[in-house]
Protein backbone atom coordinates (compact mmCIF):
# COMPACT_ATOMS: atom_id res chain seq x y z
CA UNK A 1 0.00 0.00 0.00
CA UNK A 2 1.93 3.01 -1.30
CA UNK A 3 -0.36 5.80 -0.10
CA UNK A 4 -0.02 7.20 3.40
CA UNK A 5 -2.81 6.23 5.80
CA UNK A 6 -4.19 9.37 7.43
CA UNK A 7 -7.19 7.98 9.35
CA UNK A 8 -8.41 4.57 10.53
CA UNK A 9 -12.04 3.90 11.41
CA UNK A 10 -13.09 0.87 13.45
CA UNK A 11 -16.70 -0.32 13.65
CA UNK A 12 -19.38 -2.48 12.05
CA UNK A 13 -19.64 -1.76 8.32
CA UNK A 14 -22.57 -2.25 5.93
CA UNK A 15 -22.73 -1.45 2.23
CA UNK A 16 -23.82 -2.83 -1.15
CA UNK A 17 -20.82 -3.89 -3.23
CA UNK A 18 -22.24 -3.46 -6.75
CA UNK A 19 -25.20 -1.83 -8.54
CA UNK A 20 -28.01 -4.24 -9.35
CA UNK A 21 -30.74 -4.41 -12.00
CA UNK A 22 -33.16 -6.48 -9.92
CA UNK A 23 -33.99 -6.17 -6.21
CA UNK A 24 -33.72 -9.93 -5.74
CA UNK A 25 -30.02 -9.66 -6.64
CA UNK A 26 -29.24 -7.43 -3.66
CA UNK A 27 -28.66 -10.22 -1.14
CA UNK A 28 -25.67 -11.45 -3.14
CA UNK A 29 -24.03 -8.02 -3.02
CA UNK A 30 -24.57 -7.13 0.65
CA UNK A 31 -21.37 -6.71 2.65
CA UNK A 32 -21.42 -6.66 6.43
CA UNK A 33 -18.20 -6.65 8.43
CA UNK A 34 -18.56 -6.98 12.18
CA UNK A 35 -15.65 -5.29 13.93
CA UNK A 36 -14.05 -4.02 10.77
CA UNK A 37 -11.41 -1.44 9.94
CA UNK A 38 -11.49 1.14 7.16
CA UNK A 39 -8.28 2.92 6.20
CA UNK A 40 -8.35 6.36 4.61
CA UNK A 41 -5.83 8.49 2.78
CA UNK A 42 -7.04 12.05 2.82
CA UNK A 43 -10.52 12.02 1.37
CA UNK A 44 -10.41 8.51 -0.14
CA UNK A 45 -10.87 4.94 1.02
CA UNK A 46 -7.75 2.78 0.80
CA UNK A 47 -8.86 -0.49 2.35
CA UNK A 48 -11.73 -2.14 4.25
CA UNK A 49 -11.65 -5.48 6.03
CA UNK A 50 -11.75 -7.17 9.40
CA UNK A 51 -10.04 -5.58 12.39
CA UNK A 52 -7.60 -8.49 12.68
CA UNK A 53 -6.53 -8.22 9.04
CA UNK A 54 -6.47 -4.45 9.35
CA UNK A 55 -3.98 -4.54 12.20
CA UNK A 56 -1.55 -6.39 9.92
CA UNK A 57 -2.16 -3.96 7.05
CA UNK A 58 -1.57 -1.03 9.38
CA UNK A 59 1.68 -2.50 10.66
CA UNK A 60 3.02 -2.94 7.12
CA UNK A 61 1.90 0.44 5.71
CA UNK A 62 3.13 4.00 5.71
CA UNK A 63 1.18 6.02 8.24
CA UNK A 64 0.81 9.69 8.93
CA UNK A 65 2.40 10.86 12.17
CA UNK A 66 -1.01 12.26 13.07
CA UNK A 67 -2.89 9.04 12.28
CA UNK A 68 -6.23 8.92 14.06
CA UNK A 69 -8.07 5.73 14.91
CA UNK A 70 -11.77 6.42 15.43
CA UNK A 71 -13.35 3.64 17.47
CA UNK A 72 -17.06 3.04 16.76
CA UNK A 73 -17.20 -0.65 17.73
CA UNK A 74 -20.76 -0.40 19.05
CA UNK A 75 -22.00 1.57 16.02
CA UNK A 76 -23.04 0.82 12.43
CA UNK A 77 -21.13 2.62 9.67
CA UNK A 78 -22.82 3.03 6.30
CA UNK A 79 -22.04 5.08 3.20
CA UNK A 80 -23.20 8.68 3.42
CA UNK A 81 -26.84 9.15 2.46
CA UNK A 82 -27.56 10.65 -0.97
CA UNK A 83 -30.55 12.97 -1.40
CA UNK A 84 -31.49 13.19 -5.08
CA UNK A 85 -34.12 15.93 -4.76
CA UNK A 86 -34.42 18.74 -2.21
CA UNK A 87 -35.20 22.50 -2.17
CA UNK A 88 -32.98 24.40 0.23
CA UNK A 89 -35.05 27.65 0.19
CA UNK A 90 -38.11 25.70 1.32
CA UNK A 91 -36.44 24.69 4.59
CA UNK A 92 -38.10 27.57 6.43
CA UNK A 93 -41.62 26.66 5.22
CA UNK A 94 -41.51 22.92 5.91
CA UNK A 95 -44.80 21.63 7.30
CA UNK A 96 -47.00 24.24 5.58
CA UNK A 97 -50.65 23.27 6.08
CA UNK A 98 -53.58 22.37 3.95
CA UNK A 99 -52.80 22.55 0.23
CA UNK A 100 -51.98 20.33 -2.70
CA UNK A 101 -49.16 21.07 -5.12
CA UNK A 102 -50.28 24.06 -7.21
CA UNK A 103 -52.07 25.86 -4.37
CA UNK A 104 -49.16 25.07 -2.05
CA UNK A 105 -46.71 26.70 -4.47
CA UNK A 106 -48.82 29.87 -4.68
CA UNK A 107 -49.61 30.10 -0.96
CA UNK A 108 -46.26 29.20 0.58
CA UNK A 109 -43.40 28.45 -1.81
CA UNK A 110 -43.33 31.49 -4.05
CA UNK A 111 -43.65 34.03 -1.18
CA UNK A 112 -40.84 32.28 0.71
CA UNK A 113 -38.51 32.13 -2.29
CA UNK A 114 -38.84 35.87 -2.92
CA UNK A 115 -36.63 36.47 0.14
CA UNK A 116 -33.58 34.97 -1.56
CA UNK A 117 -32.74 38.12 -3.47
CA UNK A 118 -31.02 39.01 -0.20
CA UNK A 119 -27.45 37.72 -0.01
CA UNK A 120 -27.41 37.70 3.81
CA UNK A 121 -30.63 35.69 3.98
CA UNK A 122 -29.31 33.25 1.38
CA UNK A 123 -26.07 32.81 3.30
CA UNK A 124 -27.82 32.29 6.63
CA UNK A 125 -30.26 29.72 5.25
CA UNK A 126 -27.51 27.94 3.28
CA UNK A 127 -25.57 27.36 6.49
CA UNK A 128 -28.70 26.14 8.27
CA UNK A 129 -29.57 23.84 5.36
CA UNK A 130 -26.12 22.25 5.09
CA UNK A 131 -26.07 21.76 8.86
CA UNK A 132 -29.41 19.94 8.63
CA UNK A 133 -28.09 17.64 5.91
CA UNK A 134 -25.02 16.74 7.95
CA UNK A 135 -26.99 16.29 11.17
CA UNK A 136 -29.06 13.70 9.33
CA UNK A 137 -26.15 11.87 7.71
CA UNK A 138 -26.66 13.19 4.19
CA UNK A 139 -23.32 13.79 2.48
CA UNK A 140 -24.42 14.39 -1.13
CA UNK A 141 -27.50 16.20 -2.41
CA UNK A 142 -29.06 17.45 -5.64
CA UNK A 143 -30.53 20.81 -4.67
CA UNK A 144 -32.91 23.46 -6.02
CA UNK A 145 -32.00 27.08 -5.33
CA UNK A 146 -34.29 29.97 -6.25
CA UNK A 147 -34.35 32.09 -9.37
CA UNK A 148 -31.77 34.38 -7.75
CA UNK A 149 -28.10 33.63 -8.59
CA UNK A 150 -27.05 34.69 -5.09
CA UNK A 151 -29.05 31.80 -3.63
CA UNK A 152 -26.77 29.34 -5.43
CA UNK A 153 -23.58 31.29 -4.76
CA UNK A 154 -24.35 31.13 -1.05
CA UNK A 155 -25.10 27.40 -1.07
CA UNK A 156 -22.02 26.40 -3.04
CA UNK A 157 -19.86 28.63 -0.86
CA UNK A 158 -20.93 26.81 2.32
CA UNK A 159 -20.52 23.36 0.72
CA UNK A 160 -17.07 24.24 -0.62
CA UNK A 161 -15.83 25.09 2.88
CA UNK A 162 -16.00 21.38 3.82
CA UNK A 163 -15.35 20.00 0.32
CA UNK A 164 -18.84 18.48 0.24
CA UNK A 165 -20.10 16.77 -2.90
CA UNK A 166 -23.09 18.89 -3.90
CA UNK A 167 -25.05 19.45 -7.10
CA UNK A 168 -27.22 22.56 -7.35
CA UNK A 169 -28.63 25.15 -9.69
CA UNK A 170 -30.70 28.29 -9.79
CA UNK A 171 -34.34 27.94 -10.76
CA UNK A 172 -35.07 28.94 -14.37
CA UNK A 173 -38.61 30.33 -14.64
CA UNK A 174 -40.21 32.81 -17.03
CA UNK A 175 -43.99 32.34 -16.78
CA UNK A 176 -46.90 31.43 -14.48
CA UNK A 177 -45.30 32.67 -11.27
CA UNK A 178 -45.16 36.00 -9.35
CA UNK A 179 -43.43 38.79 -11.23
CA UNK A 180 -40.72 39.04 -8.57
CA UNK A 181 -39.61 35.49 -9.44
CA UNK A 182 -39.74 35.72 -13.22
CA UNK A 183 -36.88 36.31 -15.62
CA UNK A 184 -36.51 36.46 -19.37
CA UNK A 185 -34.98 33.49 -21.18
CA UNK A 186 -31.99 35.67 -22.02
CA UNK A 187 -31.44 36.76 -18.41
CA UNK A 188 -31.82 33.16 -17.24
CA UNK A 189 -29.15 32.02 -19.67
CA UNK A 190 -26.74 34.82 -18.66
CA UNK A 191 -27.11 34.17 -14.95
CA UNK A 192 -26.87 30.40 -15.37
CA UNK A 193 -23.81 30.64 -17.58
CA UNK A 194 -22.06 32.83 -14.99
CA UNK A 195 -22.85 30.34 -12.20
CA UNK A 196 -21.52 27.47 -14.30
CA UNK A 197 -18.29 29.37 -14.78
CA UNK A 198 -17.93 30.06 -11.07
CA UNK A 199 -18.86 26.68 -9.62
CA UNK A 200 -19.16 23.74 -12.01
CA UNK A 201 -16.44 21.12 -11.39
CA UNK A 202 -14.85 23.27 -8.67
CA UNK A 203 -13.73 20.90 -5.89
CA UNK A 204 -16.59 18.37 -5.56
CA UNK A 205 -19.32 20.72 -6.82
CA UNK A 206 -21.42 20.26 -9.95
CA UNK A 207 -24.00 22.46 -11.60
CA UNK A 208 -27.57 21.44 -12.48
CA UNK A 209 -29.69 23.21 -15.06
CA UNK A 210 -32.90 23.72 -13.09
CA UNK A 211 -36.07 24.66 -14.98
CA UNK A 212 -38.66 24.46 -12.18
CA UNK A 213 -41.21 22.49 -14.20
CA UNK A 214 -42.92 22.70 -17.56
CA UNK A 215 -45.73 25.10 -16.49
CA UNK A 216 -43.22 27.81 -15.51
CA UNK A 217 -41.03 27.24 -18.57
CA UNK A 218 -41.80 28.70 -21.96
CA UNK A 219 -40.59 26.97 -25.11
CA UNK A 220 -38.08 29.80 -25.50
CA UNK A 221 -36.65 29.16 -22.02
CA UNK A 222 -36.45 25.41 -22.59
CA UNK A 223 -34.55 26.11 -25.79
CA UNK A 224 -32.00 28.10 -23.77
CA UNK A 225 -31.69 25.15 -21.40
CA UNK A 226 -31.16 22.80 -24.34
CA UNK A 227 -28.38 24.95 -25.76
CA UNK A 228 -26.61 25.15 -22.40
CA UNK A 229 -26.87 21.40 -21.95
CA UNK A 230 -25.49 20.89 -25.44
CA UNK A 231 -22.58 23.25 -24.76
CA UNK A 232 -21.80 21.73 -21.34
CA UNK A 233 -22.65 18.04 -21.69
CA UNK A 234 -21.52 17.08 -18.18
CA UNK A 235 -24.08 19.37 -16.52
CA UNK A 236 -27.05 17.90 -14.69
CA UNK A 237 -30.68 18.59 -15.57
CA UNK A 238 -32.98 18.69 -12.52
CA UNK A 239 -36.72 19.26 -12.68
CA UNK A 240 -40.15 17.89 -11.75
CA UNK A 241 -42.34 15.47 -13.67
CA UNK A 242 -45.91 14.18 -13.23
CA UNK A 243 -46.26 14.96 -9.54
CA UNK A 244 -49.92 15.97 -9.42
CA UNK A 245 -53.00 15.30 -11.57
CA UNK A 246 -53.89 19.00 -11.92
CA UNK A 247 -50.29 19.78 -12.87
CA UNK A 248 -50.44 17.18 -15.67
CA UNK A 249 -53.70 18.64 -17.01
CA UNK A 250 -52.12 22.09 -16.95
CA UNK A 251 -49.10 20.89 -18.92
CA UNK A 252 -51.38 19.32 -21.53
CA UNK A 253 -53.23 22.64 -21.89
CA UNK A 254 -50.00 24.64 -22.17
CA UNK A 255 -48.32 22.19 -24.56
CA UNK A 256 -51.13 20.57 -26.58
CA UNK A 257 -48.83 19.51 -29.42
CA UNK A 258 -46.75 17.21 -27.19
CA UNK A 259 -47.58 13.54 -26.68
CA UNK A 260 -47.29 13.68 -22.90
CA UNK A 261 -45.68 15.63 -20.07
CA UNK A 262 -42.20 14.12 -20.47
CA UNK A 263 -42.30 14.86 -24.18
CA UNK A 264 -42.09 18.60 -23.38
CA UNK A 265 -38.62 18.00 -21.94
CA UNK A 266 -37.64 15.25 -24.35
CA UNK A 267 -38.30 17.31 -27.50
CA UNK A 268 -35.97 19.97 -26.12
CA UNK A 269 -33.19 17.44 -25.58
CA UNK A 270 -33.65 17.47 -21.80
CA UNK A 271 -33.64 13.74 -21.14
CA UNK A 272 -30.68 11.42 -20.80
CA UNK A 273 -27.79 10.72 -18.48
CA UNK A 274 -27.58 13.08 -15.49
CA UNK A 275 -31.18 14.18 -16.11
CA UNK A 276 -33.09 13.69 -12.85
CA UNK A 277 -36.88 13.91 -12.70
CA UNK A 278 -38.51 14.24 -9.31
CA UNK A 279 -41.71 12.33 -8.44
CA UNK A 280 -42.93 10.61 -11.64
CA UNK A 281 -46.15 9.44 -9.97
CA UNK A 282 -48.59 9.36 -12.87
CA UNK A 283 -46.51 8.31 -15.87
CA UNK A 284 -47.97 6.92 -19.06
CA UNK A 285 -46.39 3.77 -20.46
CA UNK A 286 -44.65 5.81 -23.15
CA UNK A 287 -43.09 8.02 -20.52
CA UNK A 288 -41.71 5.04 -18.62
CA UNK A 289 -40.24 3.79 -21.90
CA UNK A 290 -38.72 7.18 -22.71
CA UNK A 291 -37.04 7.38 -19.31
CA UNK A 292 -35.57 3.92 -19.87
CA UNK A 293 -34.53 4.52 -23.46
CA UNK A 294 -32.75 7.79 -22.60
CA UNK A 295 -31.17 6.47 -19.36
CA UNK A 296 -32.82 9.25 -17.35
CA UNK A 297 -33.20 9.03 -13.55
CA UNK A 298 -36.05 9.37 -11.06
CA UNK A 299 -36.02 10.85 -7.55
CA UNK A 300 -38.54 9.05 -5.34
CA UNK A 301 -39.86 11.45 -2.66
CA UNK A 302 -42.29 9.58 -0.40
CA UNK A 303 -42.82 12.07 2.45
CA UNK A 304 -43.56 14.86 -0.01
CA UNK A 305 -45.88 12.73 -2.13
CA UNK A 306 -47.89 11.71 0.92
CA UNK A 307 -47.88 15.17 2.54
CA UNK A 308 -49.27 16.91 -0.55
CA UNK A 309 -51.57 14.00 -1.40
CA UNK A 310 -49.93 13.71 -4.81
CA UNK A 311 -49.92 9.94 -5.26
CA UNK A 312 -47.84 6.79 -4.89
CA UNK A 313 -44.61 6.08 -6.75
CA UNK A 314 -44.55 2.70 -8.49
CA UNK A 315 -41.31 1.20 -7.19
CA UNK A 316 -41.90 -2.15 -8.85
CA UNK A 317 -42.44 -0.54 -12.26
CA UNK A 318 -39.16 1.35 -11.98
CA UNK A 319 -37.34 -1.96 -11.55
CA UNK A 320 -39.23 -3.57 -14.42
CA UNK A 321 -38.30 -0.67 -16.69
CA UNK A 322 -34.68 -0.72 -15.43
CA UNK A 323 -34.68 2.98 -14.54
CA UNK A 324 -32.17 4.52 -12.15
CA UNK A 325 -33.89 5.59 -8.91
CA UNK A 326 -32.62 7.53 -5.91
CA UNK A 327 -34.34 8.77 -2.76
CA UNK A 328 -35.35 12.40 -2.32
CA UNK A 329 -36.54 14.12 0.84
CA UNK A 330 -38.00 17.01 -1.19
CA UNK A 331 -37.93 19.42 1.74
CA UNK A 332 -40.08 21.52 2.18
CA UNK A 333 -43.04 19.56 0.80
CA UNK A 334 -41.14 16.64 2.27
CA UNK A 335 -41.43 16.62 6.03
CA UNK A 336 -37.95 15.52 7.11
CA UNK A 337 -34.27 15.78 6.19
CA UNK A 338 -33.75 12.36 7.71
CA UNK A 339 -33.19 9.49 5.28
CA UNK A 340 -34.21 6.82 7.79
CA UNK A 341 -37.63 8.44 8.17
CA UNK A 342 -37.82 8.86 4.40
CA UNK A 343 -37.14 5.15 3.88
CA UNK A 344 -39.82 4.30 6.44
CA UNK A 345 -42.38 6.23 4.38
CA UNK A 346 -41.09 4.61 1.19
CA UNK A 347 -41.86 1.22 2.72
CA UNK A 348 -45.44 2.36 3.43
CA UNK A 349 -45.84 3.63 -0.13
CA UNK A 350 -44.83 0.17 -1.32
CA UNK A 351 -47.21 -1.55 1.10
CA UNK A 352 -50.15 0.41 -0.30
CA UNK A 353 -49.33 -1.14 -3.68
CA UNK A 354 -48.62 -4.67 -2.40
CA UNK A 355 -44.88 -4.13 -2.87
CA UNK A 356 -42.59 -5.13 -0.02
CA UNK A 357 -39.59 -2.82 0.11
CA UNK A 358 -36.81 -4.70 1.87
CA UNK A 359 -34.29 -3.01 4.14
CA UNK A 360 -31.48 -3.90 1.75
CA UNK A 361 -33.35 -2.30 -1.15
CA UNK A 362 -34.20 0.78 0.89
CA UNK A 363 -30.58 1.37 1.94
CA UNK A 364 -29.47 0.68 -1.63
CA UNK A 365 -31.69 3.47 -2.97
CA UNK A 366 -30.32 5.82 -0.30
CA UNK A 367 -26.66 5.01 -0.99
CA UNK A 368 -25.28 3.20 -4.04
CA UNK A 369 -28.57 3.35 -5.97
CA UNK A 370 -28.75 7.09 -5.39
CA UNK A 371 -25.15 7.43 -6.54
CA UNK A 372 -26.03 5.47 -9.67
CA UNK A 373 -29.04 7.74 -10.30
CA UNK A 374 -26.62 10.68 -10.25
CA UNK A 375 -23.98 8.83 -12.31
CA UNK A 376 -21.63 9.10 -9.35
CA UNK A 377 -21.37 5.41 -8.44
CA UNK A 378 -17.73 5.44 -9.52
CA UNK A 379 -17.06 8.00 -6.76
CA UNK A 380 -19.49 7.44 -3.87
CA UNK A 381 -22.18 5.08 -2.63
CA UNK A 382 -20.19 2.24 -1.05
CA UNK A 383 -16.85 1.46 0.56
CA UNK A 384 -14.94 0.28 -2.52
CA UNK A 385 -11.25 1.13 -2.48
CA UNK A 386 -10.51 4.43 -4.18
CA UNK A 387 -13.93 5.94 -3.55
CA UNK A 388 -14.48 9.19 -1.71
CA UNK A 389 -14.69 8.84 2.07
CA UNK A 390 -18.20 10.04 2.84
CA UNK A 391 -19.92 7.98 5.52
CA UNK A 392 -22.29 8.13 8.45
CA UNK A 393 -21.95 6.48 11.85
CA UNK A 394 -25.31 5.26 13.15
CA UNK A 395 -26.21 4.30 16.70
CA UNK A 396 -28.95 1.69 16.29
CA UNK A 397 -30.60 2.07 19.72
CA UNK A 398 -31.07 5.56 21.18
CA UNK A 399 -34.47 5.15 22.84
CA UNK A 400 -35.95 2.53 25.11
CA UNK A 401 -38.24 1.33 22.32
CA UNK A 402 -35.42 1.10 19.78
CA UNK A 403 -33.25 -0.82 22.23
CA UNK A 404 -36.06 -3.24 23.03
CA UNK A 405 -36.83 -3.89 19.38
CA UNK A 406 -33.18 -4.12 18.33
CA UNK A 407 -32.59 -6.68 21.05
CA UNK A 408 -35.30 -8.87 19.54
CA UNK A 409 -33.92 -8.59 15.99
CA UNK A 410 -32.06 -11.64 14.73
CA UNK A 411 -30.82 -11.00 11.19
CA UNK A 412 -28.99 -8.07 9.62
CA UNK A 413 -31.99 -7.40 7.39
CA UNK A 414 -34.31 -7.24 10.39
CA UNK A 415 -31.96 -4.97 12.32
CA UNK A 416 -31.74 -2.55 9.37
CA UNK A 417 -35.50 -2.64 8.89
CA UNK A 418 -36.11 -1.76 12.54
CA UNK A 419 -33.53 1.03 12.28
CA UNK A 420 -35.24 2.57 9.25
CA UNK A 421 -38.78 2.24 10.59
CA UNK A 422 -38.06 3.52 14.12
CA UNK A 423 -35.03 5.68 13.36
CA UNK A 424 -34.60 9.44 13.09
CA UNK A 425 -31.88 12.08 13.47
CA UNK A 426 -31.06 10.85 17.00
CA UNK A 427 -29.57 7.72 15.45
CA UNK A 428 -26.98 9.74 13.53
CA UNK A 429 -23.93 9.69 15.80
CA UNK A 430 -21.38 11.21 13.42
CA UNK A 431 -21.07 12.28 9.79
CA UNK A 432 -17.84 12.27 7.77
CA UNK A 433 -17.32 14.23 4.53
CA UNK A 434 -14.14 13.93 2.49
CA UNK A 435 -12.63 11.78 5.22
CA UNK A 436 -13.19 14.35 7.99
CA UNK A 437 -15.82 14.55 10.75
CA UNK A 438 -18.28 17.35 10.04
CA UNK A 439 -20.96 16.47 12.58
CA UNK A 440 -20.79 14.83 16.01
CA UNK A 441 -23.93 14.30 18.07
CA UNK A 442 -23.89 15.67 21.58
CA UNK A 443 -24.46 12.83 24.03
CA UNK A 444 -26.98 15.00 25.90
CA UNK A 445 -29.18 15.14 22.80
CA UNK A 446 -30.49 11.63 23.47
CA UNK A 447 -30.25 11.63 27.24
Residue 96 lies in a domain: yes
What's the rounded Cα separation, in Å, for the pair 266 and 258? Answer: 10
Rounded to whole angstroms, the Cα distance separating 313 from 441 reads 33
447 pLDDT above the threshold of 60: no
**In this predicted structure, what is the pLDDT of residue 10?**
98
Domain that holds residue 55: 7-79+385-440
DSSP conformational letter for 263? H
Residues 70, 103 within the same domain: no
What pLDDT sits at residue 139?
Answer: 99
DSSP structure class, residue 437: E
The closest alpha carbon to 45, from 432, 367, 376, belongs to 432
360 in Cβ contact with 120 (< 8 Å): no
Q: Where among 320, 339, 357 does a domain terminate?
A: 357
pTM: 0.98
How many percent of the chain have pLDDT more than 70?
A: 99
Give me the residues paired with residue 33 across strands: 13
Residues whose CB is less than 8 angstroms from the CB of residue 241 and which lie 6 or more positions away in sequence, other chains included: 213, 261, 262, 265, 277, 278, 279, 280, 283, 287
Non-local (6+) Cβ contacts of 414 within 8 A are: 359
Residue 442 has what pLDDT? 87
Does 93 lie in the same domain as 74?
no
Domain end position, chosen among 340, 357, 374: 357
pLDDT, tens only, 384-394: 999 999 999 99
| Same-domain pairing of 53 and 88 | no
3 state SS of 248: helix
Q: Based on the domain organization, do 328 and 311 belong to the same domain?
A: yes
Mean pLDDT of the region 216-220: 98
pLDDT tens digits along 64-94 = 888 989 999 999 999 999 999 999 999 999 9
Expressed in angstroms, the distance from the first to the final Cα of the chain is: 42
Q: Say yes or no: 58 and 128 in one domain.
A: no
Assigned domain for 2 exists: no
Residue 151 parent element (H or E)? helix 149-161
My answer on whether 329 and 240 are in the same domain is: yes
Percent of the chain clearing pLDDT 90 (strictly above): 96
Report how far residue 227's alpha carbon sits from residue 257's, in angstroms, rounded to the nearest whole number. Answer: 21
Structural domains of the chain, count: 2
Same domain, 290 and 306: yes
Check whether residue 100 and residue 233 sit in a common domain: yes
pLDDT in tens, 368-385: 999 999 999 999 999 999
* Bond from prior residue into 156 cis (ω within 30 degrees of 0): no
Which pLDDT value is given to residue 2? 75
The tens digit of pLDDT for each residue in 136-161 reads 999 999 999 999 999 999 999 999 99
Average pLDDT over the chain, rounded to an integer: 97
Residues 214 and 148 in one domain: yes
CATH code for the domain in which residue 259 is found: 3.20.20.140
- Give domain status of residue 370, yes or no: no
DSSP-assigned states of every residue in 190-240: HHHHHHHHHHTTSTTEEEEEEE--GGG--HHHHHHHHHHHHHSTT-EEEEE
Least confident of 65-74, 111-120, 183-192: 65-74
Structure confidence at residue 211 (pLDDT): 98
Of 162, 134, 142, whose CA–CA distance to 434 is shortest?
162
pLDDT band at residue 251 under the 50/70/90 scheme: very high
Element (H, E) at 393: strand 391-394
113 and 261 share one domain: yes
Q: Does residue 371 lie within any of the structural domains?
A: no
Domain boundary among 339, 357, 375: 357
Please, are residues 76 and 14 in contact by the beta-carbon 8 Å criterion?
A: yes
pLDDT tens digits, one per residue of 314-350: 999 999 999 999 999 999 999 999 999 999 999 999 9
Residue 323 domain flag:
yes
The span from the CA of 368 to the CA of 135, in Å, is 20
pLDDT of 33-71, one tens digit each? Answer: 999 999 999 999 999 999 999 989 998 899 988 898 999
Q: What is the CATH number of the domain that holds 11?
A: 2.30.40.10
Task: Please state, in angstroms and rounded to a whole number, the distance separating the CA atoms of residues 250 and 234.
Answer: 31
Amino acid sequence: MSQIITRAVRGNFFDIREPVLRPEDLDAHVRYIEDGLMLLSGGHILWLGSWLDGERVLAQSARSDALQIDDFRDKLIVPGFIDTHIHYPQTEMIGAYGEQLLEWLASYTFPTEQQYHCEKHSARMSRFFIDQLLTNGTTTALVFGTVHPQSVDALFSVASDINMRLIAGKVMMDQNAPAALLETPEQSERDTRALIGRWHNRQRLSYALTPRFAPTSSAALLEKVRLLKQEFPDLYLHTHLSENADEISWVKALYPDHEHYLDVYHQHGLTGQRCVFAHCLHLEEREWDCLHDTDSSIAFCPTSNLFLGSGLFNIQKSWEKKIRVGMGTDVGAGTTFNMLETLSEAYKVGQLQRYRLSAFEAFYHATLGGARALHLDDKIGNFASGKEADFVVLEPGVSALQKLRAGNSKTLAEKLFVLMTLGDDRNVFSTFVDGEPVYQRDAQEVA
